[in-house]
Amino acid sequence: MEFSERLDALQQRVAAAKADVQAAATESRAQIGKRIDQAQGDLDRAVKDAQQQAEQAADQARSKWAQFRADAATKMEDTKAKIDKRNRQMDAKMAAREAEWAGADAADAIDFAEWAVDNAELAILDAIDARAYADERAKAAGS
């Protein structure tokens, strides 16, 4: 498994997400709504993939990661529901509070992403170390 390639792909996804967020900041609500619908569709596909992986996962670690993704999808569905609710509300004070909550949710999501990257790095280093140890043991056994 090539971890560098996966990390490069992750980095590209983060850059694309950043560009989308920056572009959305200057768009109309209708355009932002289209972006949200697209992101929801992408997430729905990821949820289906995660559910399939969870069903196929033989060990607990794989199903734990699949569950993380499924939980993230549920969080996104909750966020979409909040967006729909917000669109129906006209009270300015409530809209300001909703904006603060949405900002806090976004900050939490970034914190989770940072944790996920740190955890992925540790898992990758552990996998590399395990491979090095296995190779070392195999070499010693062959001597």
pLDDT for res 106: 86
Q: What is the pLDDT of residue 63?
A: 60
Distance CA 119, CA 112 (A): 10
Confidence (pLDDT) at 134: 93
For residues 86 and 62, the model is more confident at: 86
Query: Does the pLDDT of residue 137 top 80, yes or no?
Result: yes
Region at 121 (left for phi over 0; alpha for psi -120 to 50; beta for the rest): alpha
Cβ contact 98:86 at 8 Å: yes
Q: In this structure, are residues 79 and 105 in contact, taking their beta carbons and an 8 Å threshold?
A: yes
d(CA 136, CA 138): 5
Residues 1-57 have pLDDT tens digits of 587 888 888 898 888 888 888 888 888 888 888 877 887 787 778 778 777 766 665
The predicted structure's pLDDT at residue 59: 56
- Global pTM? 0.54
pLDDT digits (tens, 9 = 90+) for 77-132: 888 888 877 777 667 778 888 889 988 888 888 888 888 877 777 778 888 889 88
